[in-house]
Structure 1
Amino acid sequence: MKKALLILSILFVSMSYGQEVKQIPQINVNGEGKVKVVPDQATIAVTVETKGNNAKDVKKQNDEKIDAVLKFIKKMNLAPADYKTQRVSLNPQYDYEKKKHSYNATQTIEILLRDLSKYDELMEGLVNEGINRIDNVTFQSSKLAQYQSEARKLAMKDAKLKAEDYVSVLGQKVGRAMTISDNSQTYYPQPMYAAMKTMERSDASAPRETLAVGEINITANVTVSFILE
């Protein structure tokens, strides 16, 4: 019985290898969709940094500045959910030449500014209240998900158009998609902002221009495999 089963297994394997593997005609193409958007909000990371020889005094001074900064932010009528403490630190530092310890206290606040018309007022007020380090400013769109969806659709249309161009000379047609790979990345411009530095104008009454937000390129990249008919 075992011998018969072994013979049947060998015959089955032989028949399987003897059969031809049917190849499905297909084409692989890349597609790109791009949407350019003017930012309508910004995420700002600012820090109060205080140095001194006494840890308790350094922390106290830093806390006082942060208190003034938070009160100013509240006066700007920002929603409580739009600003938060990102990190806090108090670190000892040793000066080997003077053989003395000093201390460095920092607290970083992250702010989501939904109205860019308040940008200059906010930045100048922060500096006046004690902010001495602007770590990062990232401009973005409040409708990012919508624009990403548009970019993805454009990428798929681009991929199908490319496939149709390639196969049109072969007398074939592009069929349904077999696989789709999303290779998208979103880029946010992150300009360096010098606090209190503005463009000088000869006309003092003219409004100052301190911000050039530019555009966000929201790009979707896909790789699609289409069946050929």
Structure 2
Amino acid sequence: MKRVIVFMTVLFMTVSYGQEIKQVPQISVSGEGKVKVIPDEATISATVETRGNVAKDVKKQNDEQVEAVLKLIKKMNIASADFRTQRVALNPIYDSEKKKTTYYATQTIEIIVRDLNKYDELMEGLVNQGINRIDNVVFQSSKLAQYESEARKLAMKEAKHKAEDYVSVLGQKIGRAMTISDNTQVYNPQPVYARFKTMAMESDSAAPRETLAAGEITITANVSVNFILE
């Protein structure tokens, strides 16, 4: 009998506590924070492609062009930690009509350019040394963590301001935050373009040209907040 009484008492306390929580007046709002930044670095994915009838010769030609590209990168004082081979492939391609097999070799190098003043010179040098495909160029900020923090704070300020606007009409005030949910999506910089034409095809002029238009990138944070109403 005592066990039944204890069980009923605990159950009553639990139900009462649950009802009490549900009766706390709250307001749920969302906030967004945006920070626009001029990028200060870029990541370039560049590929050397070669084709031929003999696998060994195709691979050798590809390696020679990649070696020239790596020498250029080092000559421009890009740190060894800022470039790496991303993909290597050597594949046969069979032509059923001609009943002939050709070989297709590719090597892709990823390069981080931390000084955008080197961008134009590097791009032109890559093409001259054997790069025949630029897969993408992504502009980014070296201070991403700092700007993400700023965006989060702006998002919280907007959420609080929005809640204050709503409750001011009712003559109430917002109290402490009950819950905070981070709804921010992972920041993924978008490629500027996917393909690249040889500069010699665009112009015969030997004069240096400025081809960089990095623009701005926007770093965004989103939050949902539940405030207690007072």
Q: What is the TM-score with the length of structure 2 in the denominator?
A: 0.89
Residue 169 of structure 1 and its aligned partner are, at CA, apart by 1.0
Q: Which residue does the alignment assign to 2:9? A: 12
Q: Does 1:120 align with 2:120?
A: yes
Secondary structure at the aligned position of 2:191 is classed as coil
Q: Which residue does the alignment assign to 2:141? A: 141
Structure 2 unaligned segments of length 5 or more: list them: none
The superposition leaves residues 187-215 of structure 1 with CA deviations (integer Å, 9 ceiling, x where unpaired) of 524211634459x99xx898633121110
Secondary structure at the aligned position of 2:161 is classed as helix
Q: Which residue does the alignment assign to 1:27? A: 27
Identical-residue share of aligned pairs (%): 68
The superposition leaves residues 45-84 of structure 1 with CA deviations (integer Å, 9 ceiling, x where unpaired) of 0000111111111100000000000001111111111100
Range moving further from structure 2, 182-191 or 30-39: 182-191
Structure 1 unaligned segments of length 5 or more: list them: none
Call closer, same or farther: CA 1:106–1:32 in 2, change over 3 Å. Answer: same
**Cα distance in structure 2, aligned partners of 1:90 and 1:14:** 70
**Cα distance in structure 2, aligned partners of 1:43 and 1:17:** 57
Q: Which residue does the alignment assign to 1:223? A: 224
**Cα distance in structure 2, aligned partners of 1:17 and 1:111:** 60
**Cα distance in structure 1, aligned partners of 2:11 and 2:38:** 65
Q: Which residue does the alignment assign to 2:214? A: 213
Call closer, same or farther: CA 1:211–1:197 in 2, change over 3 Å. Answer: farther
**Cα distance in structure 2, aligned partners of 1:35 and 1:169:** 31
Q: What is the TM-score with the length of structure 1 in the denominator?
A: 0.89
Secondary structure at the aligned position of 1:111 is classed as strand
Residue 170 of structure 1 and its aligned partner are, at CA, apart by 1.1
Secondary structure at the aligned position of 1:220 is classed as strand
Q: Which residue does the alignment assign to 1:65? A: 65
The superposition leaves residues 3-46 of structure 1 with CA deviations (integer Å, 9 ceiling, x where unpaired) of x2564367437745874711211111110111110111000000
Task: Describe how 1:33-112 pairs up with structure 2 within 5 A.
Answer: 33-112=33-112
Task: Describe how 1:168-207 pairs up with structure 2 within 5 A.
Answer: 168-185=168-185, 186-192=187-193, 194-197=196-199
Aligned residues: 223
Residues 120 and 210 in structure 2, CA contact (< 8 A), matched pair in contact too:
no
**Cα distance in structure 1, aligned partners of 2:206 and 2:80:** 35
Which one-letter code corresponds to 1:120 in the other structure?
D
**Cα distance in structure 2, aligned partners of 1:205 and 1:66:** 24
Residues 197 and 210 in structure 1, CA contact (< 8 A), matched pair in contact too:
no
Range moving further from structure 2, 186-195 or 60-69: 186-195
**Cα distance in structure 2, aligned partners of 1:213 and 1:12:** 67
Call closer, same or farther: CA 1:120–1:19 in 2, change over 3 Å. Answer: closer
